[in-house]
Chain A
C-alpha cells in the first residue's frame, strides 16, 4: 500500500531498522561514558595568524604549570614565558623559561616572571620576587643578570629597543617608570602622584610605535579601565574600556587601533580573548569588547602577545 508520499509500508520498516541500527553507532552516553575517564584538560601554546584568522597549536605544556606571560622574540623564533615545574614549585616561585616556537630546546633561566625580549633577542628583562625583588635584565641564556630597579615590577621592553617600562610607586602613587637605555636615565610617566590610578596591573603593553603604554588600571571608584598613556610630552591618558574584575591583566596591542585582552566570560567563567578599539577617547556604545576572531573555540584562552611584525598573536589555551 502506498502512503501519500509514494512510499510503501515496507520502506517504513526499513527506516525503522536503519534508525535502530544507527542508534547502535551513536556516541554512547550515560553508563557507557562512566566507564571512560574524562581526559584531563591540556595546556597549549597557540598562535593565531591575524591575517587569515586561523589558530594553530604550537606545542603542549606537559611538565609545567602556572604558565603565563608568553612573549615572542624579535625574530619570531623563540618564546619566553613564566612557569613553574609541575609538582615541584609553588605558583609564587615562577621561573623564566625560553624555548623554540615548536616547544623544543626548552630551557629554565632561573627565578623570575614576566619576561620581555630585547629587539634582537640577545637580552631579556624580567622581574623577580623577594628576596631579590625588582626589575632585572639578563642575557638571553640567563647569565649576567643586572638589577635595574629593586622597587620596580613587570618590565616591558619597547619595540624600538631604547626603553624599558615598568610599574612602580612614585610619591606614594602608582606610576610607570621609563628606563632609557641609550641616555641611561629614568623618568616617571605621570610623576608626583598624578596618575589618578590606585594601581596598575602587570603585563601592560607598548604601542608598536613605542609612544604609548596600554594598561589595566584601578581607576576612580574602583572601576577597572583598559587605557593607554603617552610616554613623552605629558601623560595623555585615553580610556578605551571601562569594565570590572572580569578583565584580566594580560594585554596585547594588535595593531595601531586595536588592543586585545583576556576576559572571564559566561557562566562557566571561561577566559576569552577580547578586543577593543583604541581610537576612541571615551568608551561608549560601539566600543564594547568583541571576541578576538580566530581563537580556539571551547577553550579557555588567555595571555595574548603579538609578534614584532604584527602578523602573529600567540596565546595560552586550555582545552575544556
Chain B
C-alpha cells in the first residue's frame, strides 16, 4: 500500500482530532466506501487551507470525499490487516510528525501524540521508531502552544464539585513533566535494544534541538519534597543528565562538547549546567571550576525556579559524588537562596527550599565554613511554606526552630544559636537539651534564673509486699492489675518519688512495665523520663528523657517521643542504646502488635495527622489523606487493634485551645478509605489513654463521668456509639487510667492515683 495512502489512513485513524475537516483518500480498488458531497467545512490537515486542489490533489490520483466518521465507526480497514501492518502504521505516523525543517515549535497535542508513538513503538520492540518519534517531535524545542482551551476543567460529581479530585494541570505544564517522564521510562527499553549512539543522537536533538540553534532544553522533573520529610532532598532527574550518560556510553562526549560550542551557550544557565554535568562525568576539575563560577554569576543576576532547582540538583550530584565538596557547597548555597527568594514572592507547595538550604548549611559545616552555614540557617527560618490551609502555622515555625537549633547546638555553637533563635527560643532549647549534653563542649554559662532539671535523680518504688498499710501510700501513684474475669484488683508497687506518671505499657512477656514520669517541679512531657519497672516491684531503671514508650512485639526495642537530643519520634533498644530518630516532626508513637507498623501524630497545617511508618517496606504514609481527616487535634496514646489494622485514639474537632471542646474516642482503619468511627464523645477533658481489648471488640478508656467525679476505667464498644460500661473491681475512690493488658489477655494493668482536689 502506498506510503501516501497509509499516511492519510494513519492520520485519520490515529490522531483522532476529528474536527469537521475532511480528508481525501484513494480507495484500494478505486471505489470509495461511500461517496457523496462533502459535509461541513472542508480544510486540509497539512496546509490548513480550505480550498480544493491543495495538498490533496498532489498526493492522490483518484479522490473521493469521505466523512471522517466512517473511520470512527469502522475500525477495520477492509483487507488491511491491522496487526500485520502495525509497523507500517507507526512508520506512517512518524511521517505525520513535524519535519525538522519547519521552524515553529510543535503544539502540545503533537508532542503528546509523538510520545504515544514512542511508547507504542517501544512496546512493540521498535527502538529506532521510538527514538525517531522523540527526535522529530522535539527537534524544534518544547511545545509552547496548546490547541486545548486554557480553562482547566472543574470535575463535577453529581450535583457537587468534587474537590477531592485534583484539578488537571494545564496542558503546557503537563507536557513539560510528561516529556522527561516518558524518556526516563523508555531508557530501560533502549538499554536493552537500542544502540547507544542512536540514543545519544536522539537525546542530543531533544536537548539541543536542530531547529533552535542558540538554545538548550534540559527537561528536568520538578523538584518536589515529601510533605512528611520536608528537610530531605527529593530525587530528581533531567534529560540533560541522561544525555551526558549516553554520550559517555557511546563515546561521543567530544561530539557533545562540539555541539555545545557551536551553539555558543556560554552565557545561558542551561548551557553552563550541561557543560558542568559533562565535566562531572569526566572529572574535569578545570572545567568544573570555570563553569561553576559562571553559573553562580548568572544566578546572582536572577533566574527562574526551574533553573534554580536544576542548580540544586547538580549540587546534590556533586555532593553525592564526593569529589568536589566546595563546588557542591557553592551550588547548593546559591540555589537555596534563590529558591527561598522566589518562595517569598510566590510561595509554592512542596517547595524544596528548606531541604536545599539545610543541605547547603551542612555542606558548609563539613567544610568548616561556619559563618556561611549560620547565614543559611537564618535563611532557613525565613522560608515561606505554602500549604493547603495556610502559609505558616505555630507547628511549622516550631519545626523550623527545632531543626536550626539542633544543627547549631549539636556542633556546640551556643552563641550562634542564641543569635539565630533569639533569647526566648534559645532558653527553651537549652532547658530541654542541657541535661543530655547536647550543648557540646563549648557550652556557655547558664543564664541566672533558669531551672535545670536533674536527669540523675534516683527513682525508687515500693513493692506491695513492703507496704504495711494502704492509707500510708494513698498519695502515691499505684500500679495495679485487675483480673477482668474475677474482678479482683491487686496492688503491685507504688512510686513514692514521682509527681506524675502516664503511658503505661506492659512488655510482651509480661515481666516489665514501661511508663513515663516526672519528679516534683518538672514539666510534664518536656522533662519526663521513661522508666522500666519489674512488675513485681523489685527493680526500676531509667531510659532517659522521653515519653509515651511502646514496645516492639518481642520486647527488644521501644519507640517513644523525645525532646532531646532532638525532638521527634525515636526508636531505641530496650536497654536504651542505638537510639535512632525516626521522624523529627512526629510525636506520640505506638508499635503495632504484628511489629510491622508504627503510628504517630504529625502536626501539619495546624491539624494533627496520624502517620504510619512501615518498618518492613521503609515507607511513611498518612492515615487520613487530606480531606478525609475530620479532626483538628489528635491526642497521642494510640492503641492498635489486635490484628494491626485499626487504631483507636482520642481526638477533637475543635482547634487547639478551645475551651470545653468536645472530645471523642475514635477508631480508624490504617489502610483503605473508610472514614473513622466514633465510639465515644464527651464535653471537656479526659485522659487520652485508650487500650484495645485482646478480643478486638471493645476499647478500655478513662472518661471523667459525673457519677464518679473522676476518671475511671470503662469499656467502649468499637463498632457503635454506646454508653461506656464500668469495669468492675478496679480500685475505688481513686483516679484510674492508662491501662495495658498482660499476655494472658484477661488481666489489665493500670495506674491508680489520688483524686484531684
| B466 contacts across to A, CB distance below 8 A | none
Residues 612 to 647 of chain B near chain A (Cβ within 8 Å):
614-619
Nearest chain B CB to A75 CB, angstrom units = 13
The answer to whether A182 and B553 have CB atoms under 8 Å apart is yes
Q: Offer 9 A-B interface pairs, CB within 8 angstroms, sorted by A.
A: A63-B193, A107-B188, A122-B614, A162-B616, A182-B615, A183-B552, A183-B553, A183-B595, A184-B556
The answer to whether A143 and B618 have CB atoms under 8 Å apart is no
The binding surface of chain B is classed by DSSP as loop
Known: A62-B193, A106-B188, A139-B618. 6 other contacts (CB 8 A): A64-B192, A104-B123, A118-B616, A162-B594, A182-B595, A183-B557
The answer to whether the Cβ of B48 comes within 8 Å of any Cβ in the partner chain is no
The answer to whether the Cβ of A85 comes within 8 Å of any Cβ in the partner chain is yes
The answer to whether A182 and B617 have CB atoms under 8 Å apart is no
Alpha-carbon distance between A143 and B554 when the two chains are bound, in angstroms: 30
Nearest chain A CB to B182 CB, angstrom units = 12
The answer to whether the Cβ of B259 comes within 8 Å of any Cβ in the partner chain is no
Residues 174 to 220 of chain A near chain B (Cβ within 8 Å):
180-185
The answer to whether the Cβ of A120 comes within 8 Å of any Cβ in the partner chain is yes
Given that A182-B552, A184-B556 are contacting pairs, would A118 and B617 also be in contact in the complex, using a CB cutoff of 8 Å? yes
The answer to whether the Cβ of A243 comes within 8 Å of any Cβ in the partner chain is no
| B553 contacts across to A, CB distance below 8 A | 182-183
| B189 contacts across to A, CB distance below 8 A | 106
Given that A143-B235, A182-B553, A183-B557 are contacting pairs, would A123 and B618 also be in contact in the complex, using a CB cutoff of 8 Å? yes
The answer to whether A183 and B616 have CB atoms under 8 Å apart is no
The answer to whether A105 and B185 have CB atoms under 8 Å apart is yes
The answer to whether the Cβ of B596 comes within 8 Å of any Cβ in the partner chain is yes
The answer to whether the Cβ of B541 comes within 8 Å of any Cβ in the partner chain is no
The answer to whether the Cβ of A161 comes within 8 Å of any Cβ in the partner chain is yes
The answer to whether the Cβ of B191 comes within 8 Å of any Cβ in the partner chain is yes
Nearest chain B CB to A45 CB, angstrom units = 15
| A64 nearest CB neighbor, chain B only | B192
Residues 79 to 130 of chain A near chain B (Cβ within 8 Å):
85, 104-108, 118-120, 122-123
The answer to whether B596 and A161 have CB atoms under 8 Å apart is yes
| B596 contacts across to A, CB distance below 8 A | 161-162, 182
- How large, as a class, is the contact surface on chain B? 20 to 34
Alpha-carbon distance between A163 and B619 when the two chains are bound, in angstroms: 17
| A107 nearest CB neighbor, chain B only | B188
The answer to whether B617 and A120 have CB atoms under 8 Å apart is yes
| B618 nearest CB neighbor, chain A only | A123
The answer to whether A183 and B617 have CB atoms under 8 Å apart is no
| B235 contacts across to A, CB distance below 8 A | 143
Nearest chain A CB to B722 CB, angstrom units = 35
Alpha-carbon distance between A184 and B617 when the two chains are bound, in angstroms: 14
Nearest chain B CB to A87 CB, angstrom units = 12
The answer to whether A181 and B615 have CB atoms under 8 Å apart is yes
Nearest chain A CB to B405 CB, angstrom units = 28
| A138 nearest CB neighbor, chain B only | B618
Alpha-carbon distance between A161 and B191 when the two chains are bound, in angstroms: 32
The answer to whether A106 and B192 have CB atoms under 8 Å apart is yes
Alpha-carbon distance between A149 and B125 when the two chains are bound, in angstroms: 39
Query: C-beta contact mask, B189-209 vs A, less than 8 Å → 1, else 0?
Result: 101110000000000000000
Residues 122 to 157 of chain A near chain B (Cβ within 8 Å):
122-123, 139, 143-144
Q: Give 3 closest A-B pairs by Cβ, nearest first.
A: A182-B595, A122-B617, A183-B556
| A137 nearest CB neighbor, chain B only | B618
| B618 contacts across to A, CB distance below 8 A | 122-123, 139, 144
The answer to whether B192 and A85 have CB atoms under 8 Å apart is yes
The answer to whether A108 and B617 have CB atoms under 8 Å apart is no
| A180 contacts across to B, CB distance below 8 A | 554
Query: C-beta contact mask, A39-68 vs B, less than 8 Å → 1, else 0?
Result: 000000000000000000000001110000
Nearest chain A CB to B421 CB, angstrom units = 32
The answer to whether B192 and A162 have CB atoms under 8 Å apart is no
Alpha-carbon distance between A180 and B573 when the two chains are bound, in angstroms: 13
Alpha-carbon distance between A120 and B597 when the two chains are bound, in angstroms: 13
Alpha-carbon distance between A118 and B614 when the two chains are bound, in angstroms: 11
- We find that the number of chain A residues with CB closer than 8 angstroms to chain B is 25
Most chain B CB neighbours (cut-off 10 Å) among A64, A108, A118, A184: A184
Nearest chain B CB to A106 CB, angstrom units = 6
The answer to whether B188 and A108 have CB atoms under 8 Å apart is yes
B→A interface (CB under 8 Å): 123, 125, 185, 188-189, 191-193, 235, 552-554, 556-557, 573, 578, 594-596, 614-619
Alpha-carbon distance between A122 and B615 when the two chains are bound, in angstroms: 11
Nearest chain B CB to A169 CB, angstrom units = 25
| A123 contacts across to B, CB distance below 8 A | 616-618
Alpha-carbon distance between A162 and B595 when the two chains are bound, in angstroms: 8
| B125 contacts across to A, CB distance below 8 A | 62
Alpha-carbon distance between A161 and B192 when the two chains are bound, in angstroms: 32
| A184 contacts across to B, CB distance below 8 A | 556-557, 573, 578
The answer to whether B191 and A108 have CB atoms under 8 Å apart is yes
| B188 contacts across to A, CB distance below 8 A | 105-108
| A104 contacts across to B, CB distance below 8 A | 123
Most chain A CB neighbours (cut-off 10 Å) among B596, B615, B616, B617: B616
| B123 contacts across to A, CB distance below 8 A | 104
Alpha-carbon distance between A182 and B552 when the two chains are bound, in angstroms: 7
Alpha-carbon distance between A139 and B235 when the two chains are bound, in angstroms: 13
Nearest chain B CB to A88 CB, angstrom units = 10
Alpha-carbon distance between A118 and B554 when the two chains are bound, in angstroms: 21
| A108 contacts across to B, CB distance below 8 A | 188, 191
Alpha-carbon distance between A2 and B608 when the two chains are bound, in angstroms: 103
Alpha-carbon distance between A23 and B191 when the two chains are bound, in angstroms: 49
Nearest chain A CB to B574 CB, angstrom units = 9
| A105 contacts across to B, CB distance below 8 A | 185, 188
Alpha-carbon distance between A204 and B122 when the two chains are bound, in angstroms: 36
The answer to whether B192 and A63 have CB atoms under 8 Å apart is yes
Given that A104-B123, A162-B596 are contacting pairs, would A181 and B193 also be in contact in the complex, using a CB cutoff of 8 Å? no
| A143 contacts across to B, CB distance below 8 A | 235
Alpha-carbon distance between A85 and B189 when the two chains are bound, in angstroms: 12
Nearest chain A CB to B339 CB, angstrom units = 23
| B614 contacts across to A, CB distance below 8 A | 120, 122
| B594 contacts across to A, CB distance below 8 A | 162
| B616 contacts across to A, CB distance below 8 A | 118-120, 123, 161-162, 181-182
| B574 nearest CB neighbor, chain A only | A183
Most chain A CB neighbours (cut-off 10 Å) among B185, B189, B615, B618: B618
Nearest chain B CB to A255 CB, angstrom units = 23
Nearest chain A CB to B126 CB, angstrom units = 13
Nearest chain A CB to B558 CB, angstrom units = 11
Nearest chain A CB to B670 CB, angstrom units = 13
Nearest chain B CB to A138 CB, angstrom units = 10
| A183 contacts across to B, CB distance below 8 A | 552-554, 556-557, 595
| A85 contacts across to B, CB distance below 8 A | 191-192
Nearest chain A CB to B714 CB, angstrom units = 32
- With beta carbons under 8 angstroms apart, the residue of A122, A161, A185 that contacts B619 is A122
Nearest chain A CB to B28 CB, angstrom units = 34
| B557 contacts across to A, CB distance below 8 A | 182-184
| A140 nearest CB neighbor, chain B only | B617
| B556 contacts across to A, CB distance below 8 A | 183-185
Nearest chain A CB to B435 CB, angstrom units = 26
Nearest chain A CB to B556 CB, angstrom units = 4
Nearest chain B CB to A109 CB, angstrom units = 10
| A118 contacts across to B, CB distance below 8 A | 616-617
| A98 nearest CB neighbor, chain B only | B188
| A185 nearest CB neighbor, chain B only | B556
Alpha-carbon distance between A184 and B558 when the two chains are bound, in angstroms: 11
Alpha-carbon distance between A107 and B193 when the two chains are bound, in angstroms: 12
| B189 nearest CB neighbor, chain A only | A106
Nearest chain A CB to B593 CB, angstrom units = 11
| A86 nearest CB neighbor, chain B only | B192
Nearest chain A CB to B180 CB, angstrom units = 16
| B617 contacts across to A, CB distance below 8 A | 118-120, 122-123, 161
Nearest chain A CB to B551 CB, angstrom units = 10
Alpha-carbon distance between A122 and B191 when the two chains are bound, in angstroms: 24
Residues 213 to 237 of chain A near chain B (Cβ within 8 Å):
none
Nearest chain B CB to A140 CB, angstrom units = 9
